[in-house]
């Protein structure tokens, strides 16, 4: 099946610094990527949807200046947590959806990265 690689799997940073998380589709072109956040014992919460070459669409309540999303190519999306604070500590997961060229309707199927555990001290 399709593979999505997410790095790093775990990161610890100091308060006030920025952290970048990468999400790559290894064997397909992802026209759409999704970023989720999960708090302990809570649902996966959709943060934003990014389409290659255009600005990300953020869900209500998600600060776009804090969580910068870039989807510069069909195989790479990045999430940068800027000026991180302890309350940003969470598990972040990306998912990618193949485009029409992959034989699937856009967003028909989702393939997930393994997640990034962010701890802000």
Partner 1 sequence: GNSVTQMEGPVTLSEEAFLTINCTYTATGYPSLFWYVQYPGEGLQLLLKATKADDKGSNKGFEATYRKETTSFHLEKGSVQVSDSAVYFCALRKGTSGTYKYIFGTGTRLKVLA
Which residues would be at the binding site for partner 1 (CB under 8 A)? 1, 4, 6, 9, 34, 36, 38, 41-44, 46, 49, 93, 95, 97, 105-115
CB of 16 to partner 1, least distance (A): 30
DSSP letter string, 52-64: TTSPPEEPTT--T
CB of 32 to partner 1, least distance (A): 8
Q: Residue 20 burial (CB < 10 Å; 0-12/13-18/19+)?
A: middle
- The residue (of 29 and 82) whose beta carbon lies closer to partner 1 is 29
CB of 33 to partner 1, least distance (A): 13
Give the number of other Cβ atoms within 10 Å of residue 92's Cβ: 23
């Amino acid at each position: 099946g399709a593979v999505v690689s997410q790095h790093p799997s775990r990161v610890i940073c100091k308060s006030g610094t920025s952290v970048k998380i990468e999400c790559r589709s290894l064997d397909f072109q992802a026209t759409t990527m999704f970023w989720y956040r999960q708090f302990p014992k809570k649902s996966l919460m959709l943060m934003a949807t990014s389409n290659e070459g255009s600005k990300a669409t953020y869900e209500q309540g998600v600060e776009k200046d804090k969580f910068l999303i870039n989807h510069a190519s069909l195989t790479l999306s990045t999430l940068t947590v800027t000026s991180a604070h302890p309350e940003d500590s969470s598990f972040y997961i990306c998912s990618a959806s193949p485009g029409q060229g992959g034989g699937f309707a856009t967003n028909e199927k989702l393939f997930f990265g393994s997640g990034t555990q962010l701890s802000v001290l």
